[in-house]
Amino acid sequence: MCNTWIGTVQNIAELDRCLKRGLLFSEHPSKSFSSLTLSPDGKLIAFGTTSGEIKVWDLTTKLFKWGSGPNGVSWANCLEFSHDNRQLAASSKSGEIWLFDTDAGRVIKEWVFRAGVPDYLKFTDDRSQLSTNLGALKIKPINPSERPSIEITLLEEDWVAINGVRELWLPRKSRPMDLRVKDGILAMLLESGEMFFIEFVV
């Protein structure tokens, strides 16, 4: 069973006041909540629903912050904030684990376990790993300044190279007329007028 109750007595008392006033459920009152957790600083609360949705509220403003959508799975059964409040991990009974950027609400990473149910989540202090009951998961840094250097180039018009190593061959119809690179993302304009974006992570 996932232990999702984290926080001080004051945080839980604030949560209780919000629940009694109906502030937290005004966004989607009909949803069934299956898990919850408080951020270490006591400013955010995250709920998981039986339909796989993740909902985050700001306890300081009493406002809904973001929601993830149903994700196509059922029962978000475990939630955990990182120690610096910057990331939120969530797992489901069908074997998925999602890693969210707490500020933007976007999914940074997703893992799928074919055997076993992830029901324990715990970040290391530096956010480099997420410990689960099914093993440790390595986490890529989300801050661009933390990312390792990556150089993307086009070699001989048909090879995309990463740091000088050929990684992706482009068939003739996919070779660009023009291209731009920024923060590990390659944007290519084709002769057909189509635009393609490819993100590389090292």
Reading across the β-sheet that carries 63-67, which strands appear in turn? 33-38, 44-49, 54-58, 63-67
Q: What percent of the chain has pLDDT over 70?
A: 74
Residue 71 confidence (pLDDT): 56
When pLDDT is averaged across residues 94-120 and rounded to a whole number, the result is 86
Residue 30 confidence (pLDDT): 43
Residue 3 confidence (pLDDT): 40
What are φ and ψ of residue 65, in 5° steps?
-95, -55
* Max mean pLDDT range (49-53, 62-66, 74-78, 181-185): 62-66
Homologous superfamily of the 9-143 domain (CATH): YVTN repeat-like/Quinoprotein amine dehydrogenase (2.130.10.10)
The token duo for 2 is: 């996932």
pLDDT class for 21, splitting at 50, 70, 90?
low
Higher per-residue pLDDT: 83 or 114? 83
Boundaries of every domain in the chain: 9-143, 148-199
When pLDDT is averaged across residues 187-198 and rounded to a whole number, the result is 80
**Cβ neighbours, 10 Å, residue 1:** 7
Cα-Cα-Cα-Cα torsion 51, 54, 58, 62, nearest 10 degrees, comes to -10
* Residue 4 clears pLDDT 50, i.e. is over it: no
* Residue 62 clears pLDDT 70, i.e. is over it: yes
Estimate to the nearest angstrom the gap between the alpha carbon of 1 and the chain centroid: 22
pTM exceeds cut of 0.85: no
Higher per-residue pLDDT: 145 or 161? 161
* Residue 123 clears pLDDT 70, i.e. is over it: yes
Residue 27 confidence (pLDDT): 46
* Residue 54 clears pLDDT 90, i.e. is over it: no
Which residue is associated with the tokens 């920024």? 182
Task: Give the containing element (helix H, strand E) for 55.
Answer: strand 54-58
